[in-house]
Amino acid sequence: MNRHSFRILFGCASLLGSLVVSAQPFTDRLLQDEGFWGDGKAEVAVFKATEKRYGTLRETEVRHILVRENFAKNETVKADDWQAPGTYPVIKLNQVITIPTGSYRYDQGHSSFWRQNSGDLIKFTSTTNDSCGLSYKHGTINGARWHYRAFTYWEGVSEVDTKTSAPPNALLYDELPFKLRTIDFGKTTLFEAPLMDSVIDSKGDKLEWPSAAFAIARTPQGWRVTVKHARGTDRLFFDKDSPHALNSWQRWDGSNLERTQLIRLPYWQLNQPGDERYLVPGATYP
């Protein structure tokens, strides 16, 4: 996609005339910020959300949990002993989605994992547990090599095992809530990247990366990233200052997330009755 294509996509050549398409839109500043990652807590964001299912927007709550952990030397899973030789730090984002749908119900989760030293996506997992059955997906990324597996309750895609090469700088739609926080805000205004569609659903997926265009602009509250992709347009709004937490997300299908709470917690210790009080708007943690 060239400069002319960006102007067509974003519809205002006069405004884009002075903007520069960035070949390296991301920075490691947030990844290397020990003041953020080094306190032993996770960032928990709660969103008032509408999620579209069966053509109708459903009111619900979505949670994003962002934390650093160490992966085991020989397995892409959390190390039992995080100090064992060969372990390495990764950034994990869990997206937790629960959607009541009439007499039906969706419980969905997605986890993305990035190497802290590079910001490269190295793994994702996704589950859909709904009133028809269970689906599980697992993807590992090693450079350009993607290995995708899925086990679903759909005929024809009950078991999927695909290995393929992704184009350079490929992104996954479901990693955007964190990956876009590492944009070099203030310097990057436009960039292009191959973008694979979301895997948060019950069916098997095709590994395809159509081109997407990203435009970054200041807003009174922070930063807006507009993403024009194969399905439509998304707008993600991030806080002005680092760590640039996601404030809201307007999706191509009319779905929407609006943040109601942002807090740092050792959430794995807060599993007793009453600990849910930390998730209400304005709550603080000692």
If one counts every other C-beta atom within 10 angstroms of the C-beta of residue 195, the result is 24
| Tens-digit pLDDT profile for residues 6-34 | 554 555 433 344 455 777 999 999 999 99
What is the pLDDT confidence band of residue 189, given thresholds at 50, 70 and 90? Answer: very high
Which DSSP symbol is given to 267?
A: G
Contact 7, 20 (CB under 8 A): no
Residues facing residue 3 across a β-bridge = none
End-to-end CA distance of the chain: 49
Q: Mean pLDDT of all residues in the chain? A: 93
Give every CB contact of residue 52 below 8 A, 6+ residues apart in sequence. 58, 253, 254, 255
Listed residue (193, 168, 198) closest to 183, CA to CA:
193
| Tens-digit pLDDT profile for residues 133-160 | 999 999 999 999 999 999 999 999 999 9
